[in-house]
């Protein structure tokens, strides 16, 4: 199993020892980029369309530790966020 297979289906930001999705939560899949295959918890945003884009902290993007991976909700499938690029973190 490589790192990509290991990360697939795990929840972004969850504790490494318990990163499995929970049945009482709603998730969107991150597609492409450094966080490809991870799940983003969107439970608090399922009834609204207010979460259109996210900038997620990651150490494995172009800008290294503290950098951000930028994802945008797919217009035709709100359960997927497509990667748009990386950005440096705030200093």
pLDDT of 51-75, one tens digit each?
899 999 998 888 888 899 999 999 8
Identify the pLDDT of residue 63. Answer: 85
Beta bridge partners of 28: 40
Distance CA 57, CA 40 (A): 12
pLDDT of 17-49, one tens digit each?
788 899 999 999 999 999 999 999 999 886 666
Instruction: From 13, 60, 16, select the one nearest 34 (Cα to Cα).
Output: 60
Alpha helices for the chain (secondary structure H): 3-7
3-state DSSP assignment of residue 45: helix
Identify the pLDDT of residue 16. Answer: 75
Identify the pLDDT of residue 13. Answer: 84
């Amino acid at each position: 199993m490589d790192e990509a297979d290991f990360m697939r289906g795990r929840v972004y930001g969850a504790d490494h020892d318990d990163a499995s999705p929970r049945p009482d939560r709603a998730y969107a899949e991150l597609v492409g980029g450094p966080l490809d295959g991870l799940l983003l918890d969107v439970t608090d945003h399922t009834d609204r369309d207010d979460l259109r884009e996210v900038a997620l902290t990651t150490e494995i993007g172009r800008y290294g530790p503290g950098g951000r991976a930028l994802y945008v909700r797919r217009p035709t499938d709100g359960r997927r966020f497509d990667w748009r690029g990386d950005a440096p973190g705030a200093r």
